[in-house]
Structure 1
Amino acid sequence: MPTTNFSPTDSMHGGATAAREPLDGDWNRMPEPKDGIPYRWGDHERRWSLNKDILSTTLGAERSSLYSLYHSKGIYENQRATSTRKRVVNLTRSSYAGQQRYGTIVWNGDTHASWASFRQQIPAGLNYMATGNPYWTVDVGSFFTKNDGRWFYLGEFPDGVKDDAYKEYYTRMFQWGTFLPMLRSHGSDTPREIWRFGEPGTRFYDAILRMINLRYTLIPYIYSMAARQTLHDYTMARLLAFDFPDDPNVFDIKDQYMFGNIMVCPVTVPEAKSRKVYLPHSSSSEKWTDYWSGTVYEGGGWIDIETPIDRLPLFVRGGSLIPTAQPTEYADAQIGSPITINVYPGRDSEFEFYEDEGDNYNYESGSYTTIRISWNDRKRILTLNAQKGSYPGMPTSRKITIKTPWGERSVNYNGKKTSIRI
């Protein structure tokens, strides 16, 4: 969004603001009844028991569990009753089954900055998204960076961005967060702006900027996956077992996952020069392309991959089509811009490229476009099928570049079926 009117509040925006124009988003930091239990208590079981008793007495056991669901429902339904010009975006830290229908993005709460915590958050998020709630995120850099003795305030970096050890931790988390449904940096104790991590040309600054640019490069892919989640019950970030159920080696891998057709392998230990990566296989065999180097590997084994500070190991599954655009300062600046279709050969494949106005609910009445992109692996032919649908302001033609290991070709696509042999 070119501008953002985002409300970090504990409740729905109200009064004159709601009547004038809905907010771009709500940040509901506490969508649960206030517990009233002093933070100084370190007995977690006793804290849980007292909270349960307070909530059950106040709301009843069932209603207290459902509080987050109805809180989100109230925001969603009332904003939509006010206006359909803005999609409901509700960043919230509590969830319940079915809450995804109300425009919620859940983050994992106020975590502390430690490598052990980082490692735990990856499988926690994947398990959460496997429940049918596909939008999940974190505080990149973790919320608490210091340790002040309280049971929840257990950060291991008291000097924050003054400490290169924290800069490394933050950079590695930022790399992981780049491949979550929502990327966000937030926390206490220390600044998080990119310029706090060095000057252009220094390693942490450049590594973070590389991920920012990569995120924007992938916006066409991510937005199309988001549409697939809404229209076709997809999940963009998935446990490996979802895609490779016949490969038992993936069942207990906690630090690799699929983001679309990109396998993400976060670096979760300090000063890592390399990490082991497992390349899954399926009954039809599998090829994997290193996103950075272009090296192709066969699936079904482990490899060691170098992990300099500016590189997150990424592998693209053979038979993938990844649409990208040039990075911009904000997502709407990409509207109508040239698109590159990155072809990763290995099998026949298809991808549905999706576009709409970028906001409002007109897509619910069919105001959007799709282009089915097909790849014939044996003949090396990419087909841009006829564009379906329309929306106000849609581009009537655009430059599309097809990038493959054998070279590139560009066409001016005007919505009619076009096939390109590479």
Structure 2
Amino acid sequence: MQPNSDISFETALAGRVEDMLDACTRCGKCVEACPSVKPAGIADARSEDIISGVLDIVRSGDGPEASRTWAASCMLSGDCIKACDEGVNPRFLLAMARLAIAKADHELPERRRQGVEKYRDLGRDVTVLSQLQLDGEVLERLGQKSASVATPAEAPDFVFYTGCNVLKTPHIALLALDIMDALGVTYQVMGGPSHCCGILQMRAGDIEMSARMGANSIEKLAQSKSGQVISWCPSCYVQFTETTLPTLERQRGARPFEMTPFIRFLGGRLAELTPHLRREVRMRVALHRHPGVAGVMEAATDILQAIPGVELVDLNQPAVGLQSVSLAVLPAFKRELQLGELEAARDAGIDALVTVYHSEHRELCAHERDWPFRIVNILEIVGESMGLNREDRYKQLKIMQDADQIISECRDLIAAHALDAGKARDVVVKAMLGDQPLPLNGGR
């Protein structure tokens, strides 16, 4: 199909979906490769029947129960993409199956209401948790003030796109900026709820609103000299690179930019990074792994091995999902995996369990209280070797496990940002202390 700017986003998306449906041979290799199948309880169903049912769901919003279960249980691991010999992206088709189910189950006003509600909740949680940790000047550096999103006098080398949720653990994003500064990379920071990728609206089944928000953010992001956006959030990366950007390309005939995950970007500049890794970091560490974005875990491994003094230990634990939050579709399986990794880390006698993404850092960091090793982000170790340091205030607060104490500790910033202390406490209870899939005290 030739590019046609006159067609709507939804029509262009439907065209992409139809092309994939036609290309799929229903061989079932994607199902066989998927780590969700067994814990979802559908291992006894024929793989060919499951994928055939998914195609039915995409077309009509209805299909066999095993196929609906597979769509709902997708952890976005990406193994299905590697297994396909036909150039089909089964992960994208599963997202389209979930979209079709949402559209079949609810009328547009209800889907739009759900999307708006999720977006508002996210915006509130991100804003409050970041403001409990950072003053206005640092928030501006992270693209959260009006001056920071103004068009710069000279286009930067890159746009650094944070996404939203990393702002809950802002030391990670700040270390990324510090590292780029040390490498001499120029960038403009964009992210937060005002630069939404549209994933919440897509999950709710509101294609029009998702397209509008995603396209609006894409126009803002297309401002670098290199035509490259460096991204942090893996969910935003998948939403943009598998749904929004290819669909806009079908409409317009070209993509406004290419997107590269930050860790893969850093791994690609390892020769430039290595001279900055001057300080020895004597630690035995294990990497908490999620393989959903190709090449990221391999780059993280290369980076850790380049740091003098670091010994990387393989805990031989399963690596599944896009990031930790993606495993929430199978909560019992997720708790089992997290407990198994913590026990393996204890038995291996490591000094630190190293996270890559923000969601696992939020979920795991408070376990440091109960287990004989630290839980740190990979950029903290890189920063330590480079002489860079950012306080992990989120972990300090979460380990307190007391909402009133946390609010008391943050009273100066609450006043500075004119936050309502009661509403801030509600956010702490729900979005910080409640973000704990595996209960604490497991290691005692």
Q: Which TM-score band (shorter chain)?
A: under 0.3
1 or 2, which has the higher helix percentage?
A: 2
1 or 2, which has the higher strand percentage?
A: 1
TM value normalised by structure 2: 0.24
TM value normalised by structure 1: 0.25
